[in-house]
Amino acid sequence: MKAQQRIAHAARTTFATLALLVTATSTAGCYKATFVEDPRLAKQEPTHEEWADHYAFGLIGDKDYDVNKWCPEGAGVVKTGGNVGTTALTVVTIGIYAPRKVYVTCDSKTIASNKQVTQ
Contacts of 75 (CB under 8 A, 6+ apart): 37, 67, 104, 105, 106, 107
What is the pLDDT, as a whole number, of residue 61? 82
The pLDDT, as a whole number, for residue 31 is 63
Q: Within a 10 A sphere around the Cβ of 107, how many other Cβ atoms?
A: 20
- Decide the pairing of beta strands 33-36 and 75-81: antiparallel
Say what the pLDDT of residue 108 is. 65
> What's the distance, CA 76 to chain centroid?
20
Q: In this predicted structure, what is the pLDDT of residue 109?
A: 59
Going by C-alpha positions, the residue among 101, 66, 71, 97 that lies closest to residue 84 is 101
Per-residue pLDDT of the chain (119 residues; tens, 9 = 90+): 687 888 878 888 888 787 666 666 555 555 667 777 777 777 778 888 888 888 888 788 877 888 888 888 878 888 888 888 888 888 898 889 988 888 888 876 544 444 433 33
> Does the pTM exceed 0.85?
no
Q: Which amino acid belongs to residue 22?
A: V
